[in-house]
Chain A
Amino acid sequence: MIKVLIVAGMVPPRTAVLVSALRQLRERGAQVRLACHFPLSRLPLEDGLAELRSLQAAAKGAGAAFRAAVSGAEPARQVWLHARRDPWVREHARTADVLVALDQRAVHTVWQLAQRHRGCDAVFGLTPAIKAVDARLNNPSRAGRKGALRTPSPRLLVSETRHLSRDTARLLARAATGRQAMRTGAARAIWRATVSTPGIPDRVRVKLAKRVEDSMIRVGHLASAAAAANGAARHLRDPRMRAELFKPIVDLDLKRGRLPAHLADAVTGELYDAEALYRGFPPTKAATPVAQAFDRLFHRALHFDSLMSPLAKDPQGFLAPLHNSMMARVLAGNQGRSEPAAPLPVDRPQRLLFPIGLNDNFLTPIRQRYESMPGIEVRYLDLSPGTPLRTFLNRGRERLIAHRLAGKSQYGDRALELFGPDLEWADTIFVDWCTVFAGMLSLVDPRSTRVIVRLHSYEAFSWWPHLVDFTRVDDVVFVSEHLRELSIAAIPGLRRPHGPRTHVVTNALDLQRYVRPKSPEARFNLGLVGIGAIAKDPRWAIEVLRTLRERDARYRLLLIGKDPDPTVSAAAQQYCERYERDLAELEPTGAIRRIGQTDDVPAALAEIGVILSSSVRESFHCALVEGAASGAVPVVRNWPFFAGKPHGAHTLFPREWVVETPQEAAKRILAATATEEVWNEERQAASQHALATWDWSVTQHEYDRLLLDPAAR
């Protein structure tokens, strides 16, 4: 009987193939044994196909020296170290006719066994195993070779000696730089000094420093890890090597919701790496490091889940690593268009194209107006989930980057197929949100179609505008002046000499529907509408409430909308913990009431006497303006992201609406609600201002000018 010993280094991904091969071996009368480097429960096989053995189970109870040897060894060597100490393997390898490696990790084990038992066949793969068995069946004299080749191969001695010396050196090095060692302050100090010692070759320094840094991070000594990375990086010139050292610290900081001190180093290194790949072939390989640089630079913990964003504070300084990189210049785009936007047609209706289905919250009144306007034809590009376009957009960022780097791609061809004909049909396309679709639009030459993109606020803190080729965009619309300022500072494509025209046109809001009578009890109800994002900072509103209630316990805070989600990041979780503590204190007393989400915002606003904008960042804050229109007294925090800038809440709204601190807010509320008459007077004035300034009946003409005026093209 032919004996076959198969070694599997990992769970076979193709069970049906394995079962079929085992059956074929059984049909040939072979006795099959299968040594697995994983728990046997992960390989359910029918009885009688093979005798199974778990190498890991056999190694249970092994000593520390074995564990240490295994922990640092390559995966293939780990399998062998387990197999070597298993008497079952040793016994059956001795008598096997055919040794089989089932996967790459098992090859070394079979190689080692084959050096010891030179009479058997040693093959890689199941089909070669069956062929070896067939060859033995067809030529039984092969078995006679076994006796003649019982002595181990001389290669074995060389191999064993090499491994012994290498393993010993490695174990010593690992022990000295391992977690156990890093628990002692003296070891950390020694290694910090060692990795900073001059004269060490760069590659050795990086490897050693990374190991030391990793061990320090694992045992929780982050300051030491950062110091080691810093010390080593001081001796490194190559930005990629520096980034290698800083990336673990940076990622840890981001994960914990903190602004990393070496974010710029990590991003610069990543972009250098991208540049090197871009110069190679295919240049599209650079897409991955570019995407990783974006992920770090625009991490949500920095811009969305914190109460300040480094990008808002100093857009050009913060984005300097990106702006100064070659990749930014390549991605900023210079594809241009084959012809300028054509004048409006005179012999047929004007054709407007709206992409819809991603977030239409701010688009509906605009769509409806032009849908019903004579002389206008409206068509939609449906980007809703499940549509071919949405499928195309999903996970398209890297493919878009790759296209922009290569200048052409099948992805670009597909874009042309999907929305090229509609783009060709339209005189004007209006893309709301400067996000994924605005990026994808850069894949296609718009030819004579005018392209208008509207940027709200969120996008300015994301990578998307950096992937838009603004040489293919005619107009960019902002909903406020301060967003225009920030965006122009952050996005180089917007400040090019022949860049797109920029406009400020406020959101399209039907404010009339919020005008409803309020009961006198509403006077003491403060309202905050929309609290789902950390940027809404409801804790600032709670602070206002606390100040008010020190004076008058009748004031209450109504929170409308979904609570912020603590699971999105550590920064969000930290905020939410504090927010929940506030609620736990004030909700039971009735000082705060959470209304939750509602479909009838006008009805909810009817209960509110004072509408708050407590946000750290807004582009326009529709909910505040809707509240003001409803007849609530508006109190607006001077949004900190823009407070020190030429424009912000302080220039968008009447000066008296805007406050700097919770105390100032409380003061304004106390004054505006001092009596019912004062309150009525204040709120009516605010409502009239809102309606006269921002109602759709007023602002729609600005959209008409933008979209329909021939002079605007």
Chain B
Amino acid sequence: MISHRTSRFSRMSLRAATRRLKRAGDKPHVIYLAIGFPPAAKSSAYRLRETANQFCAIGWDVTVITICQEAWEREYGLDHTLSEAVDPRVQVVELPLFREDLETDIRAFSEARSLQPQQWIDERDKQEQKIFPEKKFGRWRFALEKALLRVHRERPADLLMTTCAPYVNLAATWKLWQTYRVPYAVDFRDGWSIDVINGNEAFPPDSVAGRWERRVLDHALSIWCVNDPIARFYQERYPHLADRVRVVRNGFDANSRPTLVRRPDPADGLTFGYLGSVNFPPAQLNAVLNAWRTARQQDEVLARSRFEVRGHFGAGAMREANAHVELLKAAAPDDVIFGGPVPKAEVGATYARWDALVLILVGGRYVTSGKVYEFMASGLPVLSAHEIEHDASNVLADYPLWTGACGFDPQRLAAAFSQAARFAIEATDEDRAKARASAERYRRGALLAPAVRHVADLALGNHSPANRTSGAPSNTIRNQEPQI
């Protein structure tokens, strides 16, 4: 059962949605397979929203395919304020797909699952990978394929824009290509065959996943990645696709900027803040908290300061009950405040209450994060708690209120807290303006617009994509008949 909604998210019946789709005029139509589209409270939602809006802005009809809102309740929940900035012309199709591993209603469990919950999930993962080589999501393959074909039949698409994760989207993308030869582009974001956290290959080219990746990428009009190291990885792995790999960085949204500039009051202490979805290991958070404690012993201003941590912690049964939250709650005597997630509409106001930001990131040279751009745009001092060799360091290199990255050495991290405090106290309005200006080039819209325009042009035949291996015409197929 598929339900459609417009960007205002009033649910529509399938028949009404179909009529609406068919009513549309001759505008080009993009199906955007974007699981995590607003109102999902996912870190990727901003990029997905902007991509859809950019297609609307250049005159395309956009149909987003995502999963139903109830499904997100099991993960990081919903943030309806995210939907407010979705272009009203965007139509959204919601699929009733759920992550079963995140189910918390025990009545929905089989007895076997109740006896061995983890083993049940592991076994399911194993089975799932026979359908598509991706844990937790592989089972969605056929539902996604069916939905995509159905939406295309209802209103033929000129382009399929697919964004991963989940990577099972690639199976549906391939199905639409195989059946109707609908050209597609893949917003790969962090890539698949690269393990961005550890910097290793995630799977070899001759594995099942490796064959899937190559098969789908071979025919893609364009392949987007979020940073240069990931793009380079793909260019080296698939030299014949090198000219189709494009870096489309994340950026910041203008409404995430604090509207007011807070005047730090050293007598009252400062407020340090972290905001973001948490995917770094607890040991990393522990290192930051230990450095915070050390810094408070060494620095009088920090001794009366606060460290507020906001964001999504854990999912399913572990939601806000994981090791990170334990560390944060146990650090309450050190004026560490755990506050849960912040709705998108309140992000700017949250930054406005803070004096300095703590950028805690996992991984190394293959990770940039989206958060770094938002932190820069705030104009606040930024303390880096990540590996020295990290792509966020490249982005922050010319940010004037950055403490620099020092890895996780406790003393150096403690010194970085003091340095950030000094920045906060001593920075002039001019310094802050300069800091904000250095982020200007990372406005999300400005970063995405040329990439969207490029892929739209490719789909409509304004440019010929290089070296299409299938030899099939890529641009003008609006055929509802399956290709045989």
A interface list, Cβ under 8 A from B:
13-17, 19-21, 74, 76-77, 99, 101, 104, 107-108, 110-112, 114, 121-128, 155, 159, 281-282, 409-410, 413
Interface presence of B200 (CB below 8 A):
yes
- Smallest beta-carbon distance A543→chain B, Å: 55
Question: Does the CB pair B207–A76 fall under 8 Å?
Answer: no
Question: Does the CB pair A107–B319 fall under 8 Å?
Answer: no
- Can you list, as one digit per residue, whether each of B100-119 has a CB less than 8 Å from chain A (1) or not (0)? 00011111010101111110
Residues on the B chain within 8 Å of A17, using CB: 320-322, 325-326, 329
| Other-chain contact of A410, B106, B111, B199, B330 (Cβ < 8 Å) | B199
Interface presence of B317 (CB below 8 A):
yes
Question: Does the CB pair A14–B325 fall under 8 Å?
Answer: yes
Contacts A16-B329, A107-B109, A108-B115 hold; do A128 and B317 have CB atoms under 8 A apart? yes
| Other-chain contact of A123, B104, B200, B318, B323 (Cβ < 8 Å) | B104
Interface presence of B311 (CB below 8 A):
no
* Shortest 5 CB-CB contacts between residues of A and residues of B: A125-B317, A111-B114, A16-B329, A14-B326, A128-B104
Residues on the B chain within 8 Å of A13, using CB: 323, 326
Residues on the A chain within 8 Å of B105, using CB: 121-124, 128
Question: Does the CB pair A21–B321 fall under 8 Å?
Answer: yes
- Smallest beta-carbon distance B61→chain A, Å: 38
Question: Does the CB pair B114–A108 fall under 8 Å?
Answer: yes
Contacts A17-B329, A123-B104, A125-B104 hold; do A76 and B114 have CB atoms under 8 A apart? yes
What would be 16 A-B contacts, judged by CB atoms less than 8 Å apart?
A17-B321, A17-B326, A74-B116, A76-B115, A101-B106, A104-B116, A108-B115, A111-B109, A111-B114, A122-B105, A124-B106, A124-B317, A126-B321, A159-B111, A281-B207, A282-B200
Question: Does the CB pair B106–A111 fall under 8 Å?
Answer: yes
Identify the closest chain A residue to B328 (Cβ): A16
Question: Does the CB pair A122–B106 fall under 8 Å?
Answer: yes
Identify the closest chain A residue to B74 (Cβ): A128
Interface presence of B316 (CB below 8 A):
yes
Interface presence of B198 (CB below 8 A):
yes
- How long is the Cα–Cα vector from A2 to B204 in the complex, in angstroms? 54
Interface presence of B238 (CB below 8 A):
no
* Majority SS at the chain A contact face: helix
Interface presence of B280 (CB below 8 A):
no
Question: Does the CB pair A99–B106 fall under 8 Å?
Answer: yes
Identify the closest chain B residue to A280 (Cβ): B207
Contacts A111-B111, A127-B320, A409-B200 hold; do A104 and B118 have CB atoms under 8 A apart? yes
- Smallest beta-carbon distance B379→chain A, Å: 34
Residues on the A chain within 8 Å of B203, using CB: 281
Residues on the A chain within 8 Å of B204, using CB: 281
- How long is the Cα–Cα vector from A16 to B320 in the complex, in angstroms? 11
Contacts A110-B106, A127-B320 hold; do A74 and B200 have CB atoms under 8 A apart? no
- Smallest beta-carbon distance B107→chain A, Å: 5
Residues on the A chain within 8 Å of B106, using CB: 99, 101, 107, 110-111, 114, 122-124
- Smallest beta-carbon distance A69→chain B, Å: 15
- How long is the Cα–Cα vector from A552 to B204 in the complex, in angstroms? 76
Residues on the B chain within 8 Å of A111, using CB: 106, 109, 111, 114
| Other-chain contact of A104, B117, B199, B325, B326 (Cβ < 8 Å) | B117
Most B Cβ at <10 Å: residue of A107, A121, A127, A282: A127
- How long is the Cα–Cα vector from A155 to B321 in the complex, in angstroms? 31
Residues on the B chain within 8 Å of A128, using CB: 104-105, 317, 319
- Smallest beta-carbon distance B318→chain A, Å: 6
Question: Does the CB pair B104–A107 fall under 8 Å?
Answer: no
- How long is the Cα–Cα vector from A101 to B105 in the complex, in angstroms? 10
- How long is the Cα–Cα vector from A370 to B365 in the complex, in angstroms? 41
- How long is the Cα–Cα vector from A121 to B317 in the complex, in angstroms? 14
In B63-118, the 8 Å CB interface with A consists of: 103-107, 109, 111, 113-118
Residues on the A chain within 8 Å of B115, using CB: 74, 76-77, 107-108
- How long is the Cα–Cα vector from A20 to B340 in the complex, in angstroms? 13
Identify the closest chain B residue to A284 (Cβ): B200
- Smallest beta-carbon distance B99→chain A, Å: 14
Residues on the B chain within 8 Å of A108, using CB: 111, 114-115
Identify the closest chain B residue to A409 (Cβ): B200
| Other-chain contact of B200, A124, A127, A410 (Cβ < 8 Å) | A410
- How long is the Cα–Cα vector from A15 to B321 in the complex, in angstroms? 10
Identify the closest chain A residue to B326 (Cβ): A14
Residues on the B chain within 8 Å of A104, using CB: 116-118
- How long is the Cα–Cα vector from A76 to B112 in the complex, in angstroms? 11
- How long is the Cα–Cα vector from A304 to B323 in the complex, in angstroms? 43
Most B Cβ at <10 Å: residue of A99, A107, A112, A410: A107
Question: Does the CB pair A124–B104 fall under 8 Å?
Answer: yes
Residues on the B chain within 8 Å of A282, using CB: 200
- Smallest beta-carbon distance B39→chain A, Å: 17
Question: Does the CB pair A125–B207 fall under 8 Å?
Answer: no
- How long is the Cα–Cα vector from A122 to B103 in the complex, in angstroms? 12
Residues on the A chain within 8 Å of B322, using CB: 14, 17
Question: Does the CB pair B318–A107 fall under 8 Å?
Answer: no
Question: Does the CB pair A125–B114 fall under 8 Å?
Answer: no
Residues on the B chain within 8 Å of A112, using CB: 114
Question: Does the CB pair B319–A127 fall under 8 Å?
Answer: yes
In B306-321, the 8 Å CB interface with A consists of: 316-321
